[in-house]
Amino acid sequence: MFGHVTPAPPDAIFGLNDAFAKDPRPDKINLGAGVYRDEDGRTPILRVVKEAEGRILANEASKSYLPIEGHPDYGRLVRELLFGTDHEVLREGRAATVHTPGGTGALRVAADLLEDIQPGARVWLSRPTWPNHPAVFGGGTLQIAEYPYFDPETNGLDLEAMLEALGGADPGDVVILHGCCHNPTGVDPTAEQWRRVARTLAAGRLVPLVDFAYQGFADDVRRDAAWLPILCGELPEVMVASSFSKNFGLYNERVGALTLVTDSAPRAAAVLSRVRQVVRRNYSNPPGHGAAIVREILGDPQLRRLWLEELAAMGGRIRGIRRQFAEGLDARGVSLHASGNGFIDRQNGMFSYSRLGPQQVERLRIDHGIYMVGSGRINVAGITQSNVDRLCDAIAAVGPGTP
């Protein structure tokens, strides 16, 4: 059975970690996977997480199975984190939430649900997008299509091209959007642009599936979710894949959620029953610990406050280091775009779509021990006071390039 199996290529993102680990150079820099690092280059456990874990350890009485869709309080708290405490979707009970192993798990559960209820549906991905999106949605009957998103001339959103492409989609097609901190570009629509996206989806009877992995990293948890009432104002059906890897620093606990907004409470219950089937045949029911932490924190006003402070501090460090990175390039006379390096400051979230081309990315890795995703995506959170100068020197040495 295994005799004909040849090795698969390394993962576009996590494969970099393996290569980085093998690199013996002491001054190597990992700007690959989207993982927050502090000034010392560590990925800390948030203080609030430690506090919540202490309470959980002291109080948990059983490790029996969770319901297939997860703990009901978890589902409610996730919905409130998305919508705030008062929204008609919540009042009318039109949304169901299922606790998934991470945000990727949420996307995969959504893909399996589509395979069950809408086989052969077309799934539209932004160009560019997270390299795992095509893999998560491909491989079955779902068809993958792309819509333009990024304008290389302006380093911004190409809204007109995006809407034109989506205007050609068929009713029932699914459109993957990024809630905030678009991965890899860091370019997000404004509220007005979200309105236009929502109206285009409504006109075409398309269904959005919003990948929401960075809530709290652009502005704050509320403002980063401002697209949701806009979409729900125009559309009866919306899917949201939440990840708590980054905003709670719970990467290896694999905790996320899939929330499905439908047009009525009975429909939400029906859809949830189908999602339960998907989960049952995949991993049966979800892992408990990470979601217990999220539940403990979101359900306690004092812990929630502490969490929001720590989240704001992570975002603040990233914004500060973006500035320093751009200034470091300016100081060396290096411009990563015809318009200068100001775009680095304007991008949201952990990533800078640096506009470094594949040759520069390769030379940075081989000649300088600096690792980033092949698209030129830099995890800005991997830049610190102690490596920013070396990074800027290395980029000056390889040249800005034309992606």
- The CA distance from 242 to 259, in Å, is 8
| Residues tagged active-site | 130, 211, 246
What is the closest distance, in whole angstroms, from the C-beta atom of residue 138 to ligand LMR in the complex? 16
> What residues line the site for ligand LMR (CB under 6 A)?
13, 33-34, 104, 130, 132, 183, 213
What is the closest distance, in whole angstroms, from the C-beta atom of residue 229 to ligand LMR in the complex? 25
The 3-state secondary structure of 147-197, one letter per residue: EECEECCCCEECHHHHHHHHHCCCCCCEEEEECCCCCCCCCCCCHHHHHHH
Query: Of 251 and 325, which has the nearer Cβ to ligand LMR?
Result: 251
Contact 238, 110 (CB under 8 A): no
Taking the CB of residue 355, how many other CB atoms lie within 10 A of it? 21
What is the closest distance, in whole angstroms, from the C-beta atom of residue 104 to ligand LMR in the complex? 6
- The CA distance from 156 to 150, in Å, is 6
Pairing between β-strand 256-261 and β-strand 29-30 as defined by DSSP bridges: unpaired
Query: Of 32 and 369, which has the nearer Cβ to ligand LMR?
Result: 32
Determine the 3-state secondary structure of 96 from DSSP. Answer: strand
- The CA distance from 367 to 376, in Å, is 16
302 backbone dihedrals φ, ψ, rounded to 5°: -70, -45
Query: Of 184 and 400, which has the nearer Cβ to ligand LMR?
Result: 184
What is the closest distance, in whole angstroms, from the C-beta atom of residue 132 to ligand LMR in the complex? 6
Position of minimal CB gap to ligand LMR: 34
What is the closest distance, in whole angstroms, from the C-beta atom of residue 372 to ligand LMR in the complex? 11
- The CA distance from 341 to 167, in Å, is 33
H-helix or E-strand spanning residue 242: strand 238-243
